[in-house]
Amino acid sequence: MPFQTKPLFLAIFPLFSVRKIAWHIPSDAEWTTLTNYVGGVSDAGSKLKATSGWNAHATYGNGSDAHGFSALPGGYGNSVVDFYVVGLNGYWWSSTENDANGAWLRSMNYNYGNVTGGSNGKTYLFSVRCVQD
């Protein structure tokens, strides 16, 4: 398996405050490699989500955690540290910037089995998932 992830810590940071220390935040390309490895973006969320912690009343709520990734729906925060959609959606930064103020991310939603990509401003508080160097 090309990804040996260990939840060294699950933290929510603005992207610019994370420092490299023998682990790194995966690039957008590494996220793509992961989702391709587990079967493609259309079903990756179902395989990467934890078996509990997601909205269990939804069709795709909890996942199978088939690869030990144990993705949890941490939601997101803003610059005044208000948090939204905790328990419903998960957002994870990549280390790949799309411009000076934004970076690429991946997200999962309680109501879908896929993993989506997008970009957002670096001031948002999203989760990070570290990969060992």
Token look-up 């280390």 returns: 95
Enumerate the domain spans of the chain: 11-132
At 95, the amino acid letter reads S
What proportion of the chain, given as a percentage, has pLDDT over 90?
73
* Highest mean pLDDT of the ranges 19-28, 53-62, 124-133: 124-133
Which residues pair with residue 38 across a beta bridge? Answer: none
pLDDT of 4 reads 46
The angle, 0 to 180 degrees and rounded to 10, between the axes of the packed helices 28-37 and 41-48 is 80
Average pLDDT over residues 24-47: 97
